[in-house]
Amino acid sequence: MSQQNWMLNAFVYAVLVFILLPILIILPMAFSDTDYLAFPPKGYTLRWFESFFASSRWMGALRFSAEIGLLTALCTTVIGTAACYALVRGAGGLGAVFQGLLIGPIVVPHIALAVALYLFFQQTGLSGTRLGYVLAHTVIALPFVVFTVAAALSQVDPALEDAAMSCGASRVTAFRLVTLPLILPNVISGGLFAFIISFDEPVVAFFLAGIRDKTLPRMMFDDIEQNLTPVIPAIAVLLTLLSIVVLLAGWLLKRAAERKAPAAPSEP
């Protein structure tokens, strides 16, 4: 192994350790038997996970986050797939402008986006409502769906749709019967990513939270201010496991799509 490759591998592993280190610290704290945060724990127990699932307050926040996440995943999947189709198939000279608008929420800091949405929703009466949450999270998660779906759509030959339309199918029917089945794994993966982004989003939720309906990350901030106990690391561990499950599901979908993809014809 050359010196450059060795240095590159060392840098990559150092970054991975830097990313994983907080998780390795939080994980044992979630099982601490003390009523306060301690590392390393003096003993181990599962009572903080039991407290989370037994609390109606935490379960209400969990249900609300799941509801907002599912609605956000549905909206971003539909809007993102339609936007990708327009971008890849017919954006024309405005493609760069259209693409810039779609990825804008990634470029803009979330705190600035949250303040702008808060001011806008205050004027329209959407602040603190389910619809406001879904719209805000859709704006945040849409670029990730666009990237995921566009990667698959760009590999689908437009001639397949042209062949279907030459047989009498409309463009919508050709997309539904020909293109959509080919990109469906990426569409589902994009929806999964949108769900986890919405479920774990704290900044916008902090500005849009109402008095009663609060997402799980927003409720965690409230608990940190009032009563900091190991239940917070326990929830963090559960959120990490959820993210791992979603990423694994996206990877499995991608692998399934690769296996079903037709092999490229060999050159004579």
- Please state, in angstroms and rounded to a whole number, the distance separating the CA atoms of residues 187 and 241: 22
CA-nearest of 224, 218, 235, 225 to 128 is 218
On whether the CB atoms of residues 160 and 100 are closer than 8 A, the answer is no
Mean pLDDT of 218-227: 77
DSSP symbol at 265: P
Chain segment 168-217, per-residue pLDDT in tens: 777 778 888 888 888 888 888 888 888 988 888 888 888 877 667 778 88
Specify the pTM.
0.80
pLDDT of residue 265: 43
- Please state, in angstroms and rounded to a whole number, the distance separating the CA atoms of residues 134 and 95: 27
Q: Is the pLDDT of residue 71 over 90?
A: yes
Chain segment 156-166, per-residue pLDDT in tens: 777 877 788 78
Where do the domains of the chain lie, and which CATH numbers do they carry?
A: 57-228 (1.10.3720.10)
Chain segment 8-49, per-residue pLDDT in tens: 778 888 888 887 787 777 788 888 787 777 777 777 888 888
Phi, psi of 32 (to 5 degrees): -65, 140
